[in-house]
Amino acid sequence: MKHIIIVEDEIFMREELTEIFQKAGYCASCVTDFSHITEDILKMDAGLVLLDINLPGTSGFFVCRELKQKSALPILVLTSRDQLRDELHALDLGADEYLTKPCRKERLLARVSNLLRRYEGRGNLLEGPGFLLDKQTYTLYIHDQSIVLPKNQGKLLEAFLVHRGEFVAKELLCTALWGTAEYIDENALQVNLTRLKKTMKSLGIQQQILFIRGKGYQMTEKGGS
């Protein structure tokens, strides 16, 4: 049974959406605390996120971007905002579908069903800029080809994708590589990072791994900081 996460601040709309999905055979859960939406969703066994744009204390645009940076979850935006610029902005941030309220339940369920079919088999995939990484096999999909990365390179790339846009401490990278950070082998870590950088460059990945003293490592756009 697919799990639909509903991010909607209007209580009556939440209840109506929950009923629609449950009657259609889905498991439906609602986010009611809007202070840590992304973190809460990533802890759930989500199959799809139904996301409103107008949320208290934050923006659905921001949530959409964060979710797409850290997961391969399908996102369907359902909002009262019917301006083309809002739709284009949401799609540019990674939203898979954009529907405006009011929306017939038949149309909503059809879009959800289509999205879930499109994402079948992608639960193990992490999205990067222009590529996908299978975190079970460390297969990298890029430029219509697939490459199986050496295990250590795959582990490092997974860590950067899970924490995309963030600084990643060397302790976390060591834990990703060797399962512990009790003893940090700086030389071994640098060797593995250098190998990953060379692989990324050879594949034409438009990202670089930078080290900022006091903050850690970050995978960022070339020329960024």
Is 70 exceeded by the pLDDT of residue 225?
Answer: no
- Judged against a pLDDT cut of 70, whether residue 93 lies above it is answered with yes
Q: Which residue has the higher pLDDT, 75 or 132?
A: 75
Q: For residues 142 and 145, what is the distance between their CA atoms, to the nearest angstrom?
A: 5
Q: What is the dihedral sign for C-alpha 10, 16, 19, 23?
A: negative
Q: Residue 31: which pLDDT band, with cuts at 50, 70 and 90?
A: very high
Among the four given CATH numbers 3.40.30.10, 1.10.10.10, 3.20.20.70, 1.10.4080.10, the one describing domain 125-221: 1.10.10.10
pLDDT at residue 6 greater than cutoff 90: yes
CA 192/CA 209 separation, integer angstroms: 12
Q: What is the pLDDT of residue 4?
A: 97
* pLDDT at position 121: 65
pLDDT (mean) for 197-214: 91
pLDDT digits (tens, 9 = 90+) for 125-144: 888 887 888 888 999 988 77
Q: d(Cα 124, Cα 95) in Å, to the nearest integer?
A: 19
**Residue 199 scores a pLDDT above 60:** yes
For residue 3, is pLDDT > 60?
A: yes
What mean pLDDT comes out for the span 67-83? 88
Instruction: Say whether pTM exceeds 0.85.
Output: no
Q: What is the pLDDT of residue 123?
A: 66
Collapsed DSSP state (helix, strand, coil) of residue 120: coil
- Domain boundaries in the chain? 3-118, 125-221
**Is residue 88 predicted with pLDDT exceeding 60?**
yes
- 80: CB partners within 8 A, 6+ apart: 54, 100, 101
Q: In the CATH scheme, what is the code of domain 3-118?
A: 3.40.50.2300
